[in-house]
Amino acid sequence: MKNFKKERAEARKKAKELVSKMTLMEKASQLKYDASPVERLGVPTYNYWNEALHGVARAGVATMFPQAIGMAAAFDEEEMKKVGDIIATEGRAKYNEYSKHGDRDIYKGLTFWSPNVNIFRDPRWGRGHETYGEDPYLTSRLGVKFVEGLQGEGPVMKAAACAKHFAVHSGPEAIRHEFDAKATMKDMWETYLPAFEALVTEADVESVMGAYNRTNGEPCCGHHYLMEEVLRGKWKFDGHFVSDCWAIKDFHENHKITKNARESAALALKRGCDVNCGNTYLHLLGAVEDGLITEEDITKSAERALTARYLLGLFDGSEYDKIPYEKVECKEHVEEALNVARKGCVLLKNDGVLPLDKSKIRTIGVVGPNADSRAALIGNYHGTSSRYITVLEGIQDEAGEDVRVLYSQGCHLYKDRVENLAWEQDRISEAVITAEHSDVVVICVGLDETLEGEEGDTGNSDASGDKKDLHLPKVQEELIEKVAAVGKPTIVILMAGSAIDLNYAQENCNGILLAWYPGARGGKAVADLLFGNVSPSGKLPVTFYKDLEGMPEFTDYTMKGRTYRYIEKEPLYPFGYGLTYGDVEVIDGKLMNQVTADSDIEVEVTVENKGNRATEEVMQLYIKDLESPLAVRNHSLCGFKRVFLEPGEKKTLSFTVANRAMTVVDEAGERHIDSRNFKIFAGISQPDDRSRALTGKKPAEINVTLG
């Protein structure tokens, strides 16, 4: 893994020299996200705010990958690295041309505020689809690879990544500006901090962004424990820290822990927040006047901020300056986005209806508000595509001339009618008619970024982007019931970024495919899977709960009862679950080394595709501590690997399970090994009863005893 320690030290020297020539006002002007030019020193204006959650965002055309949660469902580390590299390439191509034209606007720099490695702890959180799911191990592995791809191999950093939102941050959106997330040290170090630790200590991420909320009483953008003791102290973070946007003004306006903007700016700077997304740092000079901070404090942060620009070669130039504009949304990049979308879709149910056989079908009915929706393709924090392929269009293209495709919107996404003057559910009879005249029906339901997303960015004003419950809008639930009642083979396509109540569809429909927000050409990926051009192979990076009964309050940050590691009742669809068109089984799993308290665990797993279709499958390893009272309630993911198998093919896979997987976290937040006996489960899913019932497969069990 590339560490930029040496390059950062060189860049810091240059930044130090440059900053030494600046006046106090000039130094302070470099700490705003829209840093001012210092023309006498040859420093152009620079805007630190850019987004790249699943493609270069908000600055025109770029390749649009599936939303982050959909990429996570691929369970593919190397794919994530490729995605990061493509985003960096396109970011460079755009930056090169924009800067030639003197365009240094917002969203046009090379400091990307991605990835979001918060833990999707509660299915109600509207921004959960920006994350890699509910598991700290999966989030860590995918996040590290994304950062590696984005930042490159050096010596110049290709683009700068940012780990956000540090830390203990996952809703509620409506009160995030005044909310205090209270977490035990055990939950912090067991769940909320590991992904940030991995990105800082393994991937050498260039920046970290603080969250809006308080954590255990302190605001996250001015947090002594998180920023000073943990980030800069324990983890030795040497990059720059940026606030979330206008989060520092919350110190005095909402959190009420400072009296005014000068005090807020001083507190954030003193704690190590180098760049302010917002305008509170306009009060830095006033804070110096009041004796709240010194010029040295400002100098230190200016050096860190400008180090990033030197590290990116923005003053001295680099090979990346030659990346041409033609790389933006080029054929290879679009194909890769399609590939990720195919890998990330999750087949939740299939009674044999899939894949569709065109030779046996004359008419396909496609209904539902997301069938022909571009908004349902894109998620949030997205760029612009030069072409979109909706699910309807994908099915039409794939069906060809010999199969008729009938279409009905069926209902509005959430309103009780499509036409304002019409009766309620004015499209539902058309949907029923469409089903009656079809051999097979595909119902496309779900959400989009107007219903789940960030506070202020969605039309879901009642919950500020969060969901009140797990249900689809009532009009969509009625649509599914009415269409399924026709009695034709019915497949549900769910386009959403979070766990949804699919109890009715599971009981009454023949197939269910979760497409997430699959990216600009996502409709083609869905059609490829429906018609069997490719086998589905995605796995759930989140638990789909049957309901919210027994779930702690949304504002309660305890992990008890949440996510697959702590769940106490049977889920609808478990984390790690997903079907394929193959029939892959683990036929052997064995331990390959003598394990000690200081060693890793070496495991070999043999798998076979006993089906008649080629498929990729995700092999998963879970570990259970058999002795320690400090262990998580259930078990934890500790390894995963994709494997392609032809019908009848066998392969043996080698896994190294890191020593850390055997550790537990105590109430003080300290991590250590507290047991001699463990069990590793190797399979195509978790080892829980629900996964076994849904897949009909039992994982191999490997006993591990420390020598």
Three-state DSSP state, 566? helix
Q: Name the token pair of 270.
A: 């003193």
Tokens 């130094």 belong to 27
Is the Cα dihedral 73, 78, 80, 82 positive or negative?
Answer: negative
Given 85, 135, 204, 244, the catalytic residue: 244
d(CA 98, CA 53): 20
d(CA 544, CA 541): 10
What values do phi and psi take at 637, rounded to 5? -60, 135
d(CA 79, CA 140): 15
Going by DSSP bridges, is the β-strand pair 615-625/601-609 parallel, antiparallel, or unpaired? unpaired
User: Which own/partner contact pairs does 585-589 have at CB distance under 8 Å and 24+ positions apart?
Assistant: 585/610, 585/684, 585/697, 586/619, 586/682, 586/683, 586/684, 586/697, 586/699, 586/700, 587/650, 587/700, 588/700, 589/680, 589/682, 589/699, 589/700, 589/701, 589/702
Q: Name the token pair of 603.
A: 């495991």
Which 8-state DSSP code applies to residue 551? Answer: P
Please list, residue by residue across 332-369, b when 16 or more beta carbons sit within 10 angstroms of its beta carbon and e when fewer do.
ebbebbbbbbbbbbbbbbbeebbbbeeeebebbbbbbb
Spatial neighbors of 72 by CB under 8 A, at least 6 apart, are 131, 132, 133, 138, 139, 142, 344, 541
From the DSSP assignment, how many helices (H) and strands (E) are in the chain? Answer: 20, 23
What values do phi and psi take at 291, rounded to 5? 75, 15
Q: Name the token pair of 206.
A: 């260039």
Three-state DSSP state, 599? coil
Peptide bond before 115: cis, by omega within 30 degrees of 0?
A: yes
Is the CB of residue 288 less than 8 Å from the CB of residue 294?
A: yes
Q: Which of 255, 254, 171, 169 is nearest to 208 (CA)?
A: 169
C-alpha dist (Å) from residue 122 to 139, 170, 217, 332, 554: 15, 8, 21, 36, 7
For 533, half-sphere exposure in the C-beta direction (CA atoms, 13 angstrom radius) is 15
d(CA 511, CA 575): 19
User: Active site includes 588?
Assistant: no
Instruction: Give catalytic residue positions.
Output: 244
